[in-house]
Amino acid sequence: MNRILFSGRAMLLLGLLAMNPVSASAAAQDYEAALLNTDIKQSRDAMVEVRLTDLHTGAPVADAIIFSTVLDMAPDGMPDMGTAIEPLGSSEPGIYHFKANLSMAGGWRLRIGVMIQGEPEPVERDLILKVSP
């Protein structure tokens, strides 16, 4: 009886694996997005810079496609207080520049969504920065 039950479970597991093959490629968790500077001076033309790194190799991730950016004051309890943020491109592999209207001091959250070449899933991160007067 136990042998039949074990065989049935093994067959079910093999069937599930066949329907959802495990990919050898990296997953969204294998990438890190980090702010180069978490303390930024208040400005209508503030520069926000993000470094994107492959955690397995430590290499910068070049040519990522930024598909979503939202900048708001969620860390200070004001998620509806958002501001404009504009992608400016990349000056070196793995470094992405943005211009933001950070006219109010306090805690800000940058929500960023990135597609990386060869990866089926997007990389989405919340990055926290502090704006000082």
**Concatenated DSSP letters for 16-68?**
HHHHSPPPSS--GGGEEEEES-SEEE-EEEEEEEEEEEETTT--B--S-EEEE
Over residues 11-31, the pLDDT tens digits come to: 444 444 444 444 445 588 999
The single residue listed with the structure tokens 């997953």 is 27
Can you give the CATH number for the domain in which 84 is found?
A: 2.60.40.10
> Number of structural domains, the chain?
1
**pLDDT confidence bin for 81, thresholds 50/70/90:** very high
Over residues 46-69, the pLDDT tens digits come to: 999 999 999 999 999 999 999 999
Residues 6+ apart with CB under 8 A from 70: 82, 85, 110, 111
41: domain range? 24-132
**Residue-level pLDDT at 80:** 94
**Residue 35 lies inside a defined structural domain of this protein:** yes
* More confident call, 19 vs 127: 127
